[in-house]
A and B are shown apart, each in its own frame.
Chain A
């Protein structure tokens, strides 16, 4: 049993990685990015293409793909999301939903329906494991993933609290109008935040490709996991996201213990229970899902 718990916690690292960008974009730009999973799959395909075509190891490939994802985030915010946000709160959701469809089908068009994986390109890392006391075997990749999640969340936390740019982003997320009045370029801060969010998505996509297989339509389930982990952890809280990822993974592991096909059900049940508790105890209705103060209006 302790073996399963350890595996569950480590899997939680992956969910935290994929939820991090979703929750970050939501807390800073108030945008629920439904293209989140598809963008992660896009990143996985980009790494796969570099590896299969040019024999570039996925870890080296990240040096190319992550800056590309950052640029995509910047452009998305500046030319798509910022404009659609002017049309009300619903429009960005629809926009990203449409974007997800476009990305999924473009990937299908380009790469076909075949299932791919990055596992063949990372050597023995995909199956190697360490033996821990108590004859627990942990996959090296799972440990790396978990460490990456902790480093990324911690790094983001430090960036947001300790640097001038981080403070600008937080100020913009709290009150863009007043941020402008103290000298912060709110549009730039939002575009930068989108770029950062996409870097985390790119990293999540890389691990998705290494630990499992993907096809052009893998985005939707990834979005679902990200969404569940973010809501369980309380959207808008970075460390909460890690906790949310772990809870989701443990619930899935437990579900699989109960019934061979209970893996996904276990996660959904945990998600619904947390959702129900949040809705009934916060007294705020759906707004209680979010650990954010209402944005000030002027």
Chain B
């Protein structure tokens, strides 16, 4: 059985339909990359999976159980953790306090403050610093660590490389590689297509709230994704006025 299945999900922001009938599933241990232009609905889709947005229609199934109506804090207890876009740290609180908050749901597992600090050694000297004063890379590490503290089965990563220097992005992905090989199921949103294809088993390209392209990352050509990304495979592309 799939760890997560999303069926015909529709999510609205007021008048705007951000996700328009998306279906996909992900097996335990898989890594899925979501790509797509800004406004394609990736962040909204992740937030709906995490329970921060209530969908208008469709279902979210975790391990076969319908969790569509379950609020976000209970989903954390069920093993779904989101590293939100823009990190969303509690900036008035220290690194350690942010990490400890991740433990609120009380899921059993072997993640602890010590283990997070071992995974992200750059956080060690900053343990008691307010997160508002950290560098971008340190903030991102704290945000990922906070999600890991809940011992998730499904980790949702929303643009973890946003605003970081290439060097720091490499470091973040190096530590993610450890998680991927340890069997954590991951859905990640990533702007850099090459990186997205190289870390994932499966890739979904979204366009205007829909799945424009879905397939295994191996053998997916850059050209194919580019066409889906801009919607150039559609009929309309042919009718450009000369």
Interface residues, chain A, CB within 8 Å of chain B?
164, 167-168, 170-171, 174-175, 177-186, 293, 296, 298
12 A-B contacts, Cβ less than 8 Å apart? A174-B92, A177-B88, A180-B52, A181-B50, A181-B72, A181-B82, A182-B76, A182-B101, A182-B105, A183-B101, A184-B73, A184-B101
- Closest 10 CB pairs between A and B? A183-B105, A183-B76, A180-B72, A183-B104, A178-B88, A185-B73, A180-B73, A174-B90, A182-B101, A184-B104
Please tell me if the beta carbons of A186 and B91 are within 8 angstroms of each other in the complex: no
Q: Which residue of A lies closest to B100 (CB)?
A: A167
Q: Which residue of B lies closest to A296 (CB)?
A: B88
B201 sits at the interface (CB 8 A)? no
Report A-chain residues with C-beta under 8 Å of the C-beta of B82. 181
Total contacts A-B at CB 8 Å: 72
Contact A182-B92, Cβ < 8 Å, known A167-B97, A177-B52 = no
Please tell me if the beta carbons of A182 and B146 are within 8 angstroms of each other in the complex: yes
Q: Which of B51, B52, B91 contacts A174 (CB 8 A)?
A: B91
B150 sits at the interface (CB 8 A)? yes
Give the interface SS of chain B, mostly helix, strand, loop or mixed.
loop
CA A177 – CA B51 in complex, angstroms? 10
Please tell me if the beta carbons of A181 and B76 are within 8 angstroms of each other in the complex: yes
Interfacial residues of chain B within 64-121, with CB under 8 A of chain A in the complex: 71-73, 76-77, 81-82, 84, 88, 90-93, 97, 100-106
Report B-chain residues with C-beta under 8 Å of the C-beta of A298. 52
Report A-chain residues with C-beta under 8 Å of the C-beta of B93. 167, 170-171, 174
Interface residues, chain B, CB within 8 Å of chain A?
50-52, 71-73, 76-77, 81-82, 84, 88, 90-93, 97, 100-106, 146-147, 150
Contact A164-B52, Cβ < 8 Å, known A180-B71, A181-B82 = no
Q: Which of B72, B91, B150 contacts A293 (CB 8 A)?
A: B91
Please tell me if the beta carbons of A175 and B88 are within 8 angstroms of each other in the complex: yes
Report A-chain residues with C-beta under 8 Å of the C-beta of B147. 182
Q: Which residue of B lies closest to A165 (CB)?
A: B104
Report A-chain residues with C-beta under 8 Å of the C-beta of B88. 175, 177-178, 181, 296
Given A174-B93, A293-B91, 20 more A-B residue pairs with CB atoms under 8 Å apart are A164-B100, A167-B100, A168-B101, A170-B92, A170-B93, A177-B52, A178-B84, A178-B90, A180-B51, A181-B50, A181-B72, A181-B73, A182-B76, A182-B105, A182-B150, A183-B103, A183-B104, A183-B106, A185-B73, A296-B88
Q: Which of A171, A177, A185, A296 contacts B101 (CB 8 A)?
A: A171
Please tell me if the beta carbons of B52 and A168 are within 8 angstroms of each other in the complex: no
Min CB–CB distance B114 → chain A (angstroms): 18
Please tell me if the beta carbons of A171 and B84 are within 8 angstroms of each other in the complex: no
Please tell me if the beta carbons of A186 and B73 are within 8 angstroms of each other in the complex: yes
Q: Which residue of B lies closest to A178 (CB)?
A: B88
Q: Which residue of A lies closest to B51 (CB)?
A: A180
Report B-chain residues with C-beta under 8 Å of the C-beta of A167. 93, 97, 100-101
Q: Which of A170, A181, A296 contacts B52 (CB 8 A)?
A: A181
Please tell me if the beta carbons of A168 and B104 are within 8 angstroms of each other in the complex: yes
Report B-chain residues with C-beta under 8 Å of the C-beta of A184. 73, 101, 104
Min CB–CB distance A27 → chain B (angstroms): 11
Report B-chain residues with C-beta under 8 Å of the C-beta of A181. 50-52, 72-73, 76, 81-82, 84, 88
Min CB–CB distance B39 → chain A (angstroms): 15
Report B-chain residues with C-beta under 8 Å of the C-beta of A182. 76, 81, 101-102, 104-105, 146-147, 150
Please tell me if the beta carbons of A293 and B92 are within 8 angstroms of each other in the complex: yes
Min CB–CB distance B96 → chain A (angstroms): 10
Report A-chain residues with C-beta under 8 Å of the C-beta of B71. 180, 185
Looking at A178, A182, A293, A298, the one whose CB has the most chain B CB atoms below 10 A away is A182
CA A51 – CA B197 in complex, angstroms? 74
CA A296 – CA B106 in complex, angstroms? 26
Looking at A164, A178, A179, A183, the one whose CB has the most chain B CB atoms below 10 A away is A183
CA A174 – CA B91 in complex, angstroms? 8
Q: Which residue of A lies closest to B80 (CB)?
A: A181
CA A182 – CA B104 in complex, angstroms? 7
Report B-chain residues with C-beta under 8 Å of the C-beta of A186. 73
Report A-chain residues with C-beta under 8 Å of the C-beta of B52. 177, 180-181, 298
